A and B are shown apart, each in its own frame.
Chain A
Amino acid sequence: MVPKRTAKQNASGESSELFTLTYGALVTQLCKDYENDEDVNKQLDKMGYNIGVRLIEDFLARSNVGRCHDFRETADVIAKVAFKMYLGITPSITNWSPAGDEFSLILENNPLVDFVELPDNHSSLIYSNLLCGVLRGALEMVQMAVDVKFVQDTLKGDGVTEIRMKFIRRIEDNLPAGEECPVRFIMMLF
């Protein structure tokens, strides 16, 4: 255990250093398991996605946030409520596309990379790619297909970390596929 006086505590009292180090261990292991950085990036995104589809339920249960009416509201909730709740930071929202379907989250400091420096042989590693997966998975569960990617990263020498989010489409409610009579009959009426 990390002694209390040196460990930064986040809002719920857990050590944020432990969290950062655990994430570091995860990425390191993936780098050992996969030959190239692209595969590691893909794997991080996939793991994030699986976290996101569950995390959204926890988020809705705890935050009492209802359905958003537009993408701007979604952006606000992500930055001001979700990031605050789970990472203790509030990214700023900038660079809206004219059509209002794309924006950037600027992270002044990214808690995942507190102790990290990218070695030369991992120059194409997207270290925090898990976050993209989480956002994609969580939004998919609330009927929004989005594209999420890092466009700037302090680890790569940029001044800030920037996550770009693009709205692709609304996912329509699933009708149960191939259901026989009762359900299908009733649905046909509408």
Chain B
Amino acid sequence: MRFGRSRKRPCAGEGAFAGSWAGSGCHRDGGEMTVHSLYLFDRNGICLHYSEWNRKKQAGISKEEEFKLMYGMLFSIRSFVSKMSPLDMKEGFLSFQTSKYKLHYYETPTGLKVVMNTDLGVGNIRDVLHQIYSYIYVEYVVKNPLCNLNEPIQSELFRSKLDTFVRSLPFFSARAG
């Protein structure tokens, strides 16, 4: 699905799943936007799932090492951010960006962490990460009694639903880089 229309779409508060996440309004006008990768960590730091779409450069280390590094960084940022906060925080750490990419972070009270790397044009996608949790992880992993919860997800159904969902996002574009 291509995203390149200049018309500014209205921002829908509640996006319905099933390929028509109509919301948007969370992007800057102009320029292609894209999703690079997605990590799912459990409360113990195990990477339950990883997938990538438009990732042109690899880290040059094994995936296991990359997951550990990523989790270690998230853990540290989270603890740093809450220690520095002048007030009690409800949501905590949401995202950071570099000159090349933006990392979005969403954590549930049960400690599940959804991490999505996108390009810089993408705004606040908290709703989207929550939807990945509630419509995909909970539906196809938690509610599947044969899926163990604390190990990498093997379910093919989960993978394909997630892939379809991410590809249907308004800021997903396979062409951008």
| Chain A interface residues toward B at CB < 8 A | 53-54, 56-58, 60-62, 65-67, 69, 141-143, 173-176, 179, 182-187, 189-190
**A182-B69, A187-B76 given as contacts; is B109 within 8 A of A58 (CB)?**
no
Q: Contact check, A67 vs B142: say whether CB atoms are below 8 A apart.
A: no
Residues from chain A with Cβ under 8 Å of B123 in the complex:
none
How near does chain A come to B59, taking the closest CB pair, in angstroms?
A: 11
Q: Contact check, A66 vs B44: say whether CB atoms are below 8 A apart.
A: no
Please tell me if B94 contacts chain A, counting CB pairs below 8 Å.
no
Q: Contact check, A141 vs B72: say whether CB atoms are below 8 A apart.
A: no
Cross-chain pair count, CB within 8 angstroms: 75
8 A-B Cβ contacts within 8 A?
A54-B142, A54-B149, A66-B90, A143-B109, A175-B45, A182-B69, A186-B69, A187-B75
In the complex, what distance in Å separates the CA atom of A141 from the CA atom of B75?
18
Q: Which of A53, A142, A183, A190 contacts B80 (CB 8 A)?
A: A190
Question: Which chain B residue lies CB-closest to A65?
Answer: B109
Question: Which chain B residue lies CB-closest to A69?
Answer: B88
If A54-B149, A174-B43, A186-B75 are given as contacts, then 9 extra A-B residue pairs at C-beta distance below 8 Å, sorted by A number, are A58-B138, A61-B133, A62-B134, A141-B111, A173-B111, A176-B71, A179-B72, A183-B75, A186-B72
3 closest Cβ contacts across the A-B interface?
A61-B134, A183-B72, A176-B45
Residues from chain B with Cβ under 8 Å of A67 in the complex:
90, 109
Residues from chain B with Cβ under 8 Å of A179 in the complex:
45, 68, 72
State the majority secondary structure of interface residues on B.
helix
Please tell me if B97 contacts chain A, counting CB pairs below 8 Å.
no
The interface bits of chain B over 44-82 (1 if a CB of A lies within 8 angstroms of the residue's CB, else 0) are 111000000000000000000100110111011001100
Q: Contact check, A57 vs B75: say whether CB atoms are below 8 A apart.
A: no
Please tell me if B110 contacts chain A, counting CB pairs below 8 Å.
yes
How near does chain B come to A16, taking the closest CB pair, in angstroms?
A: 20
Please tell me if B108 contacts chain A, counting CB pairs below 8 Å.
yes
Q: Which of A56, A61, A176 contacts B44 (CB 8 A)?
A: A176
Please tell me if B5 contacts chain A, counting CB pairs below 8 Å.
no
Question: Which chain A residue lies CB-closest to B135?
Answer: A61
In the complex, what distance in Å separates the CA atom of A190 from the CA atom of B110?
22
Q: Contact check, B143 vs A54: say whether CB atoms are below 8 A apart.
A: yes
Residues from chain B with Cβ under 8 Å of A58 in the complex:
138, 142-143
The interface bits of chain B over 101-129 (1 if a CB of A lies within 8 angstroms of the residue's CB, else 0) are 00000001111100000000000000000
> B residues 109-168 with Cβ under 8 Å of A?
109-112, 133-135, 137-138, 142-143, 149
Question: Which chain B residue lies CB-closest to A177?
Answer: B44
In the complex, what distance in Å separates the CA atom of A143 from the CA atom of B46?
18
Residues from chain B with Cβ under 8 Å of A56 in the complex:
110
Q: Which of A141, A176, A182, A185 contacts B110 (CB 8 A)?
A: A141
Q: Which of B69, B75, B109 contacts A60 (CB 8 A)?
A: B109
